Amino acid sequence: MKLLSRRTLSAFLLAAAAMSPGSASAAEKITYLFPAPDFLPAFAPFHLARAKGYYKAEDLEVDFQVGKGGADVSKQVALGNAEIGGATVDTVMVVRANGLPVKAVGQLGNGALYQIVVRKDANVKTLAELARRVHARANEYIAHLFGLMKLDERFA
């Protein structure tokens, strides 16, 4: 997995700061909300950038805080309680559909948003094979499976 470069991470935070209302030009104070506990490995690049002084070098004072999930983070950013935060793109779409003015400005990471993992002995090689074995479950994950099938060319 490739870590974010200093320039990429700084540019990401600078873009967010520039988009926030009333942002100043020097020693900008920015609140970044994590959608989950900040000790998770996904957030290591943020902590590494702070430890290496990358934010300070760009005249940024970043206050990292932990929100209550991506939807809460998006809502807090929309309400002006933080300048930037982390959430999945589908969360941003849901929050925008509810009338809150948030925008996705970048994607961190280079993998798929969702991954489906099956045991090797399950002998499932395609989404069609998986769909034939899935029985309806009363949760949101089945909707994601059907969304993936719609995107899959084999189901078009």
Domain final residue, candidates 82, 97, 112 = 97
Average pLDDT score over the chain:
75
Provide mean pLDDT across the span 40-63: 91
Q: Are residues 30 and 77 in the same domain?
A: yes
Containing structural domain, residue 134: 120-155
Is the residue at 34 inside a domain?
yes
Domain count, the chain: 2
Provide DSSP, 115-156: -----GGG---SHHHHHHH----SSTHHHHHHHHHHHSGGG-
Q: Are residues 91 and 14 in the same domain?
A: yes
Domain final residue, candidates 97, 112, 130 = 97
Instruction: Label residue 19 by pLDDT band (50, 70, 90).
Output: low
Q: Are residues 24 and 63 in the same domain?
A: yes
State residue 131's pLDDT score.
73
Q: How many CA atoms lie within 13 A of 18 on its CB side?
A: 8
Q: Are residues 30 and 84 in the same domain?
A: yes
Residue 38 has pLDDT above 80, yes or no: yes
Where do runs of H (alpha helix) occur along the chain?
Answer: 6-19, 44-51, 54-57, 70-78, 89-97, 127-133, 141-151
Q: Are residues 81 and 130 in the same domain?
A: no
